[in-house]
Amino acid sequence: MMMKQTVCFHARKELLTEQIILKCKSLIMRNILLRSLMIFSGLMFSLNLSAAKINAEKVGSKINVTVNGKFFTSYIFSEDEKYPFFFPVNGPLSGGSVTSMRNAVYPHHTSLFFGCDMVNGGNYWQEGLDRGRIISVNAQIEKQGGDTVIITDECIWSRPGALSPVKDTRRFIITAPAEKYYQIDVVISMEMLMDVVIRKTNHSLFSARMAADLAVTNGGTMINAEGLKGEKDTFGKGSAWIDFYGKRGNIIEGLAILQHPSNPWYPSPWFTRDYGFMSPTPMYWPQNDKDTSMKKGTVLVLRYRVLVHSGSHTDADIAGKFDEYKKTSTY
């Protein structure tokens, strides 16, 4: 009888132990599942936060772009302008433009723009529409409403009494990869409609005129990929990128232009000014020191990345972002 009770006791003990083990296993599995769900939910929440909502709207002769409901920039293509351009180009924190829209001394510096002087005798850069202008004929929003806006345009280079020497197509891909910086990928294809000669000029191709408060003359910083600073050390130097930034109250904001390694003349020498101008300008340093010539039918494809950022060039990791950019293929 005693042995029978002992056996029953051990059986109940083993059963109880198994039940406890099963319950523990169940609790452990439930905790693992809950943790997994929490991690997954957190990841999805993080992704939702980081995926900026970018919208574009065409209003008259401009396309307005917003990032998470905040106005970022306008692509302006009015018939009474010298050429299409972006203005304002608002910083991600201040909401104020990091570029400027003309001034009394240099009225042909129009924010973020593309043009060229001395093209078959025409001027597609400086003021005076009768000297030449770049006319938008098909500005469109190709994509908008998600995490990317794509703007396309077709332009004719025209002046009174002369045949058009160039037509170009433009593609702007606007994203906001992080809260503290916005990005514009620029692809411009220039087709020569005749033999073209561009005389030596410091007014050529993609350029930015910075806001006055960011200028080196007002305490800002202009630095290239080699770490050289200011007009004195960056002017005429070939470099993959230049970043221009300065203090705005308690924050720092700026704009960097990156040249894609596939560009002709890469890395192009830069025309820089401490008062707030920068442009990778190959036409100022032609091989023969006189002009740049291209035959009819030549297609010149130029790619740039514009980073509008907070912080210094190291805070924004401009060097790292260039390393990423140079690995990208064509758009």
Residue 157 resides in a domain: yes
66-92 confidence digits (pLDDT tens): 999 999 999 999 999 999 999 999 999
User: In the chain, how many domains are there?
Assistant: 2
Task: Categorize the per-residue pLDDT at 32 as very low, low, confident or very high, splitting at 50, 70 and 90.
Answer: very low
At residue 110, φ and ψ (nearest 5 deg) are: -115, 80
C-alpha–C-alpha distance, residues 63 and 21, integer Å = 66
What is the CATH number for 308?
Answer: 2.70.98
- Pairwise CA distance, residues 201 & 119, whole Å: 10
Residue 330 falls inside a structural domain: no
Residue 166 lies in a domain: yes
Residue 96 and residue 25 share a domain: no
pLDDT at 33: 43
CA angle 316, 97, 213 (to 5 degrees): 80
Residue 83 lies in a domain: yes
Please check whether residues 202 and 280 belong to one and the same domain.
yes
Q: Which of 13, 29, 50 is the last residue of a domain?
A: 50
Q: Per the structure block, which two tokens stand in for 242?
A: 């230049």
Residues 11 and 22 in one domain: yes
Within this chain, do residues 6 and 67 fall inside the same structural domain, yes or no? no
Same domain for 307 and 213: yes
Residue 67's alpha-carbon distances to 139, 211, 264, in angstroms, are 20, 21, 33
Within this chain, do residues 42 and 60 fall inside the same structural domain, yes or no? no
Q: Same domain, yes or no, for 90 and 19?
A: no
Domain boundary among the residues 18, 35, 50 is at: 50
If asked whether residues 21 and 146 sit together in one domain, one would say no
- Regarding whether 232 and 140 lie in a shared domain, the answer is yes
Q: Where are the beta strands (DSSP E) in the chain?
A: 54-59, 62-67, 70-76, 85-89, 112-119, 122-124, 133-136, 140-143, 149-158, 166-178, 181-192, 196-199, 204-209, 221-224, 241-248, 251-259, 270-273, 277-280, 291-294, 299-310
The answer to whether the CB of 201 falls within 8 A of the CB of 231 is no
Run of H or E including 9: helix 2-50
DSSP 282: G
Of 33, 50, 67, which marks where a domain is finished? 50
Same domain, 175 and 199: yes
- 330 and 299 Cβ atoms separated by less than 8 Å: no
**For the ranges 27-36, 38-47, 184-193, 287-296, which has the lowest average pLDDT?**
38-47
Based on the domain organization, do 59 and 165 belong to the same domain?
yes
Reported as a single tens digit per residue, the pLDDT across 246-304 is 999 999 999 999 999 999 999 999 999 999 999 999 999 999 999 999 999 999 999 99
Name the DSSP letter for residue 107: T
Domain of 4 in residue numbering reads as: 1-50
Predicted confidence (pLDDT) at residue 35 exceeds the cutoff of 70: no
Q: How far apart are CA 187 and CA 66, in angstroms?
A: 21
Q: In percent, how much of the chain has pLDDT > 90? A: 79
Shared-domain flag, residues 102 and 146? yes
Residue 214 lies in a domain: yes
pLDDT surpassing 90 at residue 184: yes
Residue 174 resides in a domain: yes
